Amino acid sequence: MFVTATFVAIPEKTQTATAMKRVLDYVMQDKKTMFYDRENDRSYKLVSGQNCIPKAAFNEFLATKHRFNKAKGVFFKQYVQSFKPDCGATPQQIHQIGLETAKAFEEFEVVVATHIDRDHWHNHFVVNSVNSETGLKIQINEKGLEELRNRSDQICQQFGLEVLTPYQKPKQRSMNQREYRTAIRGDSKKLRLMNAIDMAVVHSQSKEKFIENMKRLGYGVKWIDRYKYITYTTPDGQRKKENQPNHKNIA
């Protein structure tokens, strides 16, 4: 059984007001978040705000920072909750799962944007680094990220989606600055590969099972033990190299 959703932190080394605005603008693009409901003959923009109004989020984030004299250092955090294709949920349900997950960032201003422009639907969470009530900066370490992943799994279960029980921690993989900027420009192939690896690792007890699981997700795998990197062939035929999974479940 594959876990329905993965939850990862997206790094952004450039922490400025300009960078924060760029990310907010990116995640709220109409071409990525607009959903047409044929049954009700109406369109929805799958963007919501927790403790903020999405269109005014940039100014509200800044206002909170200035109110507590913390308009410096880390400006924002971003997380992505990705769902496997054909997970059985509608775009509205995916968005609602995102809103429920965002409640973990209690008293923080959060923009939740659901991207459905590709078959790999996912929620973006852009979180103001300053708590709107206490003025404290956000602090989420590896344990906190694991708790967020647990919460994500629990919410998926509440919506009737399959998850791995009991929870097993997936390997966290992060993009470097160049790769993240590529994703910001709209090329999410790297993110999809990372999430596929995460899902396969969680459910693989051996090298052979990992390769089988990756194949089920549409990826070819060339894994030679004496090589540092594994070569993956993506569904569109491109080849990408990644470090071998460092996971206790994989021999």
Evaluate whether residue 180 is within a structural domain.
no
Left (φ > 0), alpha (ψ -120 to 50) or beta: where does 232 sit? beta
25 and 77 fall within a common domain: yes
Residue whose C-alpha is closest to residue 81's, from 65, 63, 95, 61: 95
62 and 138 fall within a common domain: yes
Give me the amino acid identity at 79.
Answer: Y
Query: Looking at residue 168, what is its pLDDT?
Result: 44
Evaluate whether residue 167 is within a structural domain.
no
212 and 152 fall within a common domain: no
Q: What share of the chain is helix, strand, coil (3-state, %, to 5)?
A: 35, 20, 45
112 and 29 fall within a common domain: yes
- Domain count for the chain: 2
Evaluate whether residue 173 is within a structural domain.
no
Evaluate whether residue 19 is within a structural domain.
yes
Query: Looking at residue 158, what is its pLDDT?
Result: 86
121 and 237 fall within a common domain: no
**Whole-number Å distance between alpha carbons of 89 and 95:** 10
193 and 138 fall within a common domain: no
Structure tokens at 137: 């900066």
> Block means of pLDDT (10 residues each) for the chain, length 251 residues?
69 89 93 86 91 96 96 93 80 93 94 89 94 94 87 85 50 49 55 74 75 84 84 86 62 50
Q: Which domain holds residue 9?
A: 5-158
What CA–CA distances, in Å, run from 66 to 130, 182, 235? 10, 31, 47
95 and 14 fall within a common domain: yes
23 and 117 fall within a common domain: yes
Structure tokens at 21: 């605005």
**Whole-number Å distance between alpha carbons of 109 and 31:** 24
Query: Looking at residue 85, what is its pLDDT?
Result: 76
H/E/C letters for each residue in 204-243?
CCCHHHHHHHHHHCCCEEECCCCCCEEEEECCCCCEEEEE
For residue 104, what is the domain's CATH number? Answer: 3.30.930.30
- Whole-model pTM? 0.66
Whether the Cβ atoms of residue 4 and residue 156 lie closer than 8 Å to each other = yes
72 and 193 fall within a common domain: no
80 and 204 fall within a common domain: no
Query: Looking at residue 181, what is its pLDDT?
Result: 53
Place of tokens 């279960």: 157
Query: Looking at residue 240, what DSSP letter applies?
Result: E
Terminal CA-CA length for the chain: 20
101 and 197 fall within a common domain: no
Beta bridge partners of 125: 79, 112
Query: Looking at residue 50, what is its pLDDT?
Result: 95
